Structure 1
Amino acid sequence: MSIGKFNYSFKYIFVTILLLIQISAAESVKIFDLRYTLDWDYSKEDIRSDVWDNCHSVAALQGILNRDKPTLYLRYVDSRRKDINIDNYWLEKATADGGWLDDVEFEQVGDIEELFRMFKNRVNGLVVYDGNVAATSNVASSVAGADNLIPVRYDKSEGSLYSVLTDKIGFKVKVWLVKPNGDSLFDKQGLIPGTDRYTTGSAKCDAYIWLKEHYLKTGKLNPAFGAYYIDYFWTSKLASIPKNHHNLTNHDYFVSNKAWFFDLNVWADEAPNDDPGQIEGTDRRTLCELLLLCNQLLDEKEMIYVGGFPPWAHKYTKSAGCRHGDVSTEWEYAYILSGYNAYKDADAIGFGAMANASFWQHYNLKDKYPQKWVSHEELLERGYLTKDGRVNFDGREFIIFYVGDYDAASWLYQRTADIWDDENRGKVPMMWSISPVLARRAPMAMEYLRETATDNDYFVAADNGAGYLNPGALKYSKWNAEGRPVSGLKDGTELWQQHCKKYYDKWGLTITGFIIDGYANPMDSALYECYESFSPNGIVPAKAPISCLFGDMPVLRSDYDVNSSDPAQAAELVMERIAARSIPFHWFRNILKTPTWYVQVNNEIQKQSEGKVELLDAPTFFELLRIYMKNNTDAAEGRYPYFESMW
């Protein structure tokens, strides 16, 4: 950030100066380049194990060191779309003249042994896990955050990281998740070790129950932070996806915040492919048990922030040889989380890798980032309103693109360099749909977008507000006669409202660009009232009337995804949908498309429509929709008193 360029509050300047003093007074920030692990031969399982060991232990160390202040920075995530290193990209912005860290000294660390020797006295020892019970790697990440320990896999072979840390550097083992002789601690016999709980019949789930009893129940972990990342099973098969999809460098933020890690199947009707001998649904029951306890510990007064995503390329889905589809698994997972007042920051495979979130969590944001709404006077001057206040279509149809998907901090972290920085940004209106909770792990990216936005860049909330959950699973309704879906907890609508309002107010958001209802029921009137309180200028649900007003809030049902790489084909689909729909307002969702693509598609639409289809900015689109609905009784009846009657 450029401190001299912006009118920051005194509080902001003071906090920034204080942080810089804190960093420089202690020691230089260390930089460790982890990219050497990307050059190894991943076709060999033992090499994949070494990759895992290196990335896992370094990420946990980083999370511990960065808990109180920025101390360790990693170079790891290379761009798949641009010839740059993403971690360098963000660090260069922070260290530029006037930047957040322009006065901070940096020191390169040579190798992993030097790194752990350097910080040996900053951690309390090791937590050692069992490569034969893959889930213990996630349990170890949880324990690492709680007890300031380095997680490492039991491997006494010469040159292993375990041997280096214990024999060469002298770390002591403080927690064993495997027996000291290498035998499995979780052997599915009798009681789960150290508890009065009988085995679930699954060593995988027993490990998570052990974590629940020893670390969640005892208050050593933060129940408001969950982390869904693939466990050591990743090493067992080589998926045809980029090498960094173990997503271990994502662990640092969650270790830093003492999160509980998990990797559990969400389906009740199929045993997971990583534990085929378990009773069907044991994984799901274990996940629900963990989520229920977290709600009890939070007294159902705080939403649960969960990073990560089902590892669909490796487990649980048709892509991994199982029965359920990839999207179906995403939806079932969202449905479960929603029932337990949890939402996801969805680091989905594709662009799921992120590094340094524990470092960036200390970045200082301004109190608010307001945005300007359009006035009726402006709409009249621009020719969109008649003098009597009605929408002036003049033979036109209006469209808007949902510029997504930015419901994952990792996707924003990776794709800003090639999507946002595209040379054609600003040439056409773009409704950037970005979840405000991404500011938790990528605050510098969120602010960079606001600082460099053009008049054609407008920001709205991504699915489904301040985080991805299904609103219909937050409450009881006529569809849920048996009680709140999945959990049976009390109504979570007010909790969601309070959570979202805080983020919407900070980031100047008044539109929710998309609501994925998934397997949840449609929203009822109470949920519409909830959204009206923080998203008064519009929402776009999947399960809704094609268009209506709720009070003064415009509601437009979502339509097709348009993602063809061929602009002409994309434009053809847009034109087909316009012809098929009964109102002159049209919404289309796009995933990770560049401004150049939008310019090309818009040009094609102009050709095919002979200029009768107009791409609008978000304030203009939704304000005109509101006016249209108010003035057309055939299209709307004002506030619907009982939304349940619509379906």
Structure 2
Amino acid sequence: MTFNTLLSAANQHKTTEPIAYLDLSYMWNYSPDSQTQVNEIWDILHCVATLQGVVNRNAPHIYINYVKNEFMEVDRYWWDLYRQKGKWLNRRDTVYYNDIVKLTEDYKEKIRGAVVYDTNVASTSCVASAVAGIEDLIAIRYDTSEGSLYHRLIMNGPKMEVKVWLINRDGTSMFTGRGQIPQTDRPSTGSTKNDPYIWFISNYMKRNRCSGEYGAYYLDQYWKQSPQSAPMNAHCLTNHDFFVSHRAFFFDLSPWSDESATDEKAQPVGSDFSTLTEMLSEAYRINRGKKICHIGGFPAWAYKYTRHAGGSHEDVDTEWEFSRIISAYNTFKDADAIGYGALANASFWQHYPTAKQYPQKWITDEELQHLGYLDDKGHVRIEGRKFIIFYVGDYDSSAWITSVLPHLWKDPERGKLPLMWCISPVLERRVPMVMDYIRRTASPNDYFAAADNGAGYLMPGMLQAPRKLSGLPDGLNAWAKHCRPYYKKWGLTITGFVIDGQAPGLTDKGLECYASFSPNGIVPQKTPRTRLFGNMPILRAGSDLVQTPEQNADFIVQDMQHSPIPFGWYRDILKSPSWHKQMMNKIAEIDPSIELLDAPTFFELYRRWLREHPEAANGKIE
């Protein structure tokens, strides 16, 4: 059976039940200056995301149209693509909705009721999403005013039964940051924000009632205080549905132990950090240390926990600190960062059937000789030439690959240059339809490697024992076991970038871990410039390309001319094939000895060059 036949078979779907399509595009023009409209955005999207998560858990039933950016109407794009003749959704009947109340009424039998949370305690919104997934409920904010969603769904209309209250029934706050945390044997943390999370840990995590394999790190209701701080969909409520479907734990906590969280400055210093590490520790326990936890989300730097929001730490430092912490507990993030962080319908698309394997071909000796890169004795032919490769990223986020890559993928220059597209294979969990699409439409010049830092973004140095932060046993075996099947399925043998950040660099044991699933190369930050570990080539990460194509071309030429080795790696973020072509044209004008190689040629030549230069293979070149 051919590869295309496998894909064709995978795209057939047996379900004939109609799809419910809720069009929320009318909210695109809502103003962040209208509190009424801000509340409506929050309430409707939160409710529908939890409804989707429960109803779509076992099959794709509910789809919404909401996410858009300057490039595309994201949800409509993927819907239209897979509604085409012969595609997955072509034969599915559709019922269109524009009212969340009507949609809820029609799916009332598939949910058990509602969880109601407190407007005045922002963190209860995150807890509500977690409870909704575990108890098969929808999340609704307490608001008895005329026209509110609570008024329409609880007090009137279908009159959903409230199964869980995160607020007192008279509307007063259940969590006060004082005394004993309700329904637990735990004293208050002294933080109104943290007490609901401790309530959740006590009643769900410690009782093994939630998943340890999935967590969600998205903004709580604090978003409503400054919705103008980032694109309006930066609340990422639409992202909740997938994690609700997997009964995940939800949180919005600062990773910093040296200050109070910026959204609750009166809390005891480090309260958020303490709660975060307790949640991660419980997830590790639930997983028995054998599985890697998948967290969706990213520090909401424009709103919280950074200097942007009145804290003392920079944006990237906050990203890295969060990554460092979660890695110590065998956890990675699916990095839905602000800008293009909104993703809808992952609970729907998770059911898209992919092929069993997506193989990629490695280059042979004969091909290298035919291309003139090896002489007749098999030695690398340098002769004044210099070789470069681009890390084309960052595709370590299901949201980013869904919202931006289609625009870049349609660039007319794609396929004219060899580009190494670095995409985390674990994104197949939330957006398999995107992963499948780019593989089916790739040109011979489009080659795929894993994004940072494998099948998910964590800092692998924090997996290595001793692990002072968590005190847990070595996690490298669990990471290798997690990554191997994804690399095999997607034909990956290169990890295009390893972000070490503030974590330790990889030890020999860490390198053995990577060699087991990424044998053709890795590109860490904390490593000698060159190294050959067994048969795995290691190249230290080079520079990010953040200027114009012409300025970047000047930089690359100067950098390669001063480099002690003839191989260079450069990283760019969300750049088009046209941008790369413009840069390479300029490089060719300045220094035609610099060649852009495809990934198999680059890493195979680099490996052979290392074998021929023992000082480089042993990390002696700087």
Q: Does 1:35 align with 2:25?
A: yes
Counterpart mapping for 1:44-443 below 5 A: 44-81=34-71, 84-169=72-157, 170-443=159-432
Counterpart mapping for 1:481-520 below 5 A: 483-520=466-503
What letter is aligned with 1:587? W
C-alpha contact (below 8 Å) 2:424/2:450 kept by paired residues:
yes
Deviation at 1:79, TM superposition (A): 2.9
Distance in 1 between residues matched to 2:587 and 2:494, nearest whole Å = 25
Distance in 1 between residues matched to 2:3 and 2:418, nearest whole Å = 26
C-alpha contact (below 8 Å) 1:45/1:236 kept by paired residues:
no
What letter is aligned with 2:49? A
Which runs of 4 or more aligned residues in structure 1 lie more than 4 Å from their structure 2 counterparts after TM superposition? none
Tell me what 1:604 maps to.
586
C-alpha contact (below 8 Å) 2:142/2:150 kept by paired residues:
yes
Deviation at 1:42, TM superposition (A): 1.2
Deviation at 1:422, TM superposition (A): 1.1
What letter is aligned with 1:145? G
Q: Does 1:541 align with 2:524?
A: yes
Q: Does 1:7 align with 2:5?
A: yes
Q: What residue ranges of structure 2 are gaps of 5+ in the alignment?
A: none
Distance 1:500 1:5, change over 3 A: closer
C-alpha contact (below 8 Å) 2:297/2:333 kept by paired residues:
yes
Distance 1:371 1:5, change over 3 A: closer
Structure 1 residues 594-620: Cα deviation after superposition (integer angstroms, max 9, x where no partner): 1110111111111111x1100000000
Distance in 2 between residues matched to 1:47 and 1:102, nearest whole Å = 35
1:239 counterpart SS class: helix
Deviation at 1:377, TM superposition (A): 1.0
Distance in 1 between residues matched to 2:255 and 2:131, nearest whole Å = 23
C-alpha contact (below 8 Å) 2:180/2:186 kept by paired residues:
yes
Distance in 2 between residues matched to 1:152 and 1:579, nearest whole Å = 61
Which of 608, 611, 622 is the aligned partner of 1:630?
611
Distance in 2 between residues matched to 1:624 and 1:417, nearest whole Å = 32
Distance 1:634 1:220, change over 3 A: closer
Distance 1:258 1:626, change over 3 A: same
Distance in 2 between residues matched to 1:417 and 1:633, nearest whole Å = 43
Distance in 2 between residues matched to 1:646 and 1:261, nearest whole Å = 46
C-alpha contact (below 8 Å) 1:130/1:154 kept by paired residues:
yes
Distance in 1 between residues matched to 2:105 and 2:2, nearest whole Å = 40
2:616 counterpart SS class: coil
Identity, % of aligned pairs? Answer: 48
C-alpha contact (below 8 Å) 2:363/2:600 kept by paired residues:
yes
Q: Does 1:594 align with 2:576?
A: yes
> 230-239 vs 432-441, which deviates more?
230-239
Count of residue pairs the alignment pairs up: 621
Distance in 1 between residues matched to 2:145 and 2:56, nearest whole Å = 31
What letter is aligned with 2:563? R
Distance in 2 between residues matched to 1:345 and 1:189, nearest whole Å = 35
C-alpha contact (below 8 Å) 1:142/1:255 kept by paired residues:
yes
Distance 1:260 1:363, change over 3 A: same
Structure 1 residues 318-342: Cα deviation after superposition (integer angstroms, max 9, x where no partner): 1222110000000000000100000
What letter is aligned with 1:606? A
Q: Does 1:584 align with 2:572?
A: no
Distance in 1 between residues matched to 2:533 and 2:589, nearest whole Å = 36
C-alpha contact (below 8 Å) 1:38/1:244 kept by paired residues:
no
C-alpha contact (below 8 Å) 1:308/1:347 kept by paired residues:
yes
> 87-96 vs 245-254, which deviates more?
87-96
Deviation at 1:45, TM superposition (A): 3.0
1:107 counterpart SS class: strand
C-alpha contact (below 8 Å) 2:328/2:469 kept by paired residues:
yes
Deviation at 1:5, TM superposition (A): 8.4
Q: Does 1:474 align with 2:457?
A: no
Structure 1 residues 403-425: Cα deviation after superposition (integer angstroms, max 9, x where no partner): 00000000000012211111110
Distance in 1 between residues matched to 2:3 and 2:81, nearest whole Å = 15
Distance in 2 between residues matched to 1:573 and 1:628, nearest whole Å = 24
Deviation at 1:16, TM superposition (A): 6.0
Tell me what 2:505 maps to.
522
1:635 counterpart SS class: helix
Tell me what 1:479 maps to.
none
Distance 1:438 1:5, change over 3 A: closer
Deviation at 1:646, TM superposition (A): 11
1:6 counterpart SS class: helix
Distance in 1 between residues matched to 2:29 and 2:166, nearest whole Å = 30
Q: Does 1:620 align with 2:610?
A: no
Deviation at 1:4, TM superposition (A): 10
Distance in 1 between residues matched to 2:415 and 2:621, nearest whole Å = 39
Tell me what 1:449 maps to.
438
> 341-350 vs 294-303, which deviates more?
294-303
Tell me what 1:480 maps to.
none
Distance in 2 between residues matched to 1:175 and 1:401, nearest whole Å = 51
What letter is aligned with 1:316? Y
> 577-586 vs 407-416, which deviates more?
577-586
C-alpha contact (below 8 Å) 2:529/2:621 kept by paired residues:
no
Distance in 2 between residues matched to 1:448 and 1:392, nearest whole Å = 37
Distance in 2 between residues matched to 1:225 and 1:116, nearest whole Å = 26
> 578-587 vs 325-334, which deviates more?
578-587
1:32 counterpart SS class: strand
C-alpha contact (below 8 Å) 1:4/1:98 kept by paired residues:
no
Query: Normalising by the residue count of structure 1, what TM-score does the alignment of the two structures yield?
Result: 0.94
Deviation at 1:496, TM superposition (A): 0.6
C-alpha contact (below 8 Å) 2:420/2:449 kept by paired residues:
yes
C-alpha contact (below 8 Å) 2:387/2:566 kept by paired residues:
yes
What letter is aligned with 2:602? F
Deviation at 1:240, TM superposition (A): 3.5
Distance in 2 between residues matched to 1:548 and 1:601, nearest whole Å = 29
Aligned-CA RMSD value: 1.7
1:73 counterpart SS class: strand
